[in-house]
Amino acid sequence: MVDVIPKLQALFLLPPGIIIVIAFLGFLIQIRWLLVGSLIVFSSLAALLVLSLPLTGYQLMQGIESRFPPLRLTPATDTASLPGAIVILGGGRYTEALEYGAGDSVNRATLERLRYGAHLHRLTGLPILVSGGAPYGEKSPEAELMKDSLTQDFRVEVKWMEDKSANTHENARYTKKMLAEAGVRHVYLVTHAAHMPRAVWSFENQGIGTIPAPTGFATLNKEDRETLGYFPSAYGLHLSSSALRERLGLFWYKRKFENPVPAPEAAPVPAR
């Protein structure tokens, strides 16, 4: 089962939760010190405004997504360290999908990862491992939903299904055991671009050589770049919150799960 304590803590450490907490404290302080309390409330509202701008959220996402640029397949020079599999990490489920018969399905984030994983499979021919459990005791693990989507929607077969993990650290831990049995030491790792730094750290910390294959980069349409990007929106706050969450998540992982394992040298990327 998933540990909900870090998730609850994140609610109060990331926007909008942290801003609401600070604003509430400001209101309390106003009772005793009107000026100080008013400044705190004003600062909180200003922070909420800035973080809700699509341009702000986009810039924050760029800061973390730029660490691993889009994958470009190039000729390989060392065949011994070529990837032996494509690992696709789950990104959540679509609970009780009514249009599909009220059973669970993959959500939009997971579907984006599956689509790119299927694309990469067609380019390389490598077998696929899907990773995702049932952290809250759901009937079907996420990996099973991912496998169903790949086979039914993309006509791509899944070779391995890791269905015990509850978080990214466990994705890497349980995947390592399955890959070791198959003699695979290097993989293409598919997840969202913003999540990739935490995912790469987790897998390499387990001794798995990774070639990042990020997808789902944050983008702004023409209106957001030229006009609407200067006005607060739910999308802007979503981008800002996601970018800050991934930074906090990586910080937390490095302190909680640090377990140095000599990782294989970075593998060259094979040609199509």
The pLDDT of residue 74 is 73
pTM of structure: 0.84
Q: If you ran DSSP here, which 8-state letter would residue 231 be given?
A: S
| For range 53-60, the mean pLDDT | 94
Pairing, β 85-89 against β 128-131: parallel
In CATH, the architecture of 73-219 is: 3-Layer(aba) Sandwich (3.40)
- The dihedral over CA atoms of 180, 255, 141, 204, expressed in degrees to the nearest 10, equals -30
**Per residue in 39-52, is it b (16+ CB within 10 Å) or e — as a string?**
ebbeebeebbeebb
| Predicted confidence (pLDDT) per residue in 210-247, tens digit | 999 999 999 998 888 888 888 888 899 999 999 999 99
Q: How far is CA 64 from CA 3, 117, 239, in A?
A: 25, 21, 11
Tell me whether the omega of the peptide bond preceding residue 15 falls within 30 degrees of 0, making it cis.
no
| Predicted confidence (pLDDT) per residue in 5-33, tens digit | 666 666 666 677 677 777 777 777 776 77
Which residue carries 């802007």 as its tokens? 236
Q: What average pLDDT does the chain have?
A: 88
The pLDDT of residue 92 is 96
The pLDDT of residue 7 is 61
Q: Quickly count: other Cβ atoms within 10 Å of residue 109's Cβ.
A: 19
| Weakest mean pLDDT among 68-72, 203-207, 267-271 | 267-271
The pLDDT of residue 164 is 96
Residue type, 99: E
Give the separation between CA 197 and CA 208, rounded to whole angstroms.
14
Sheet order of strands, 186-192 included: 160-162, 128-131, 85-89, 186-192, 209-215
Confidence of residue 267 (pLDDT cuts 50, 70, 90): very low
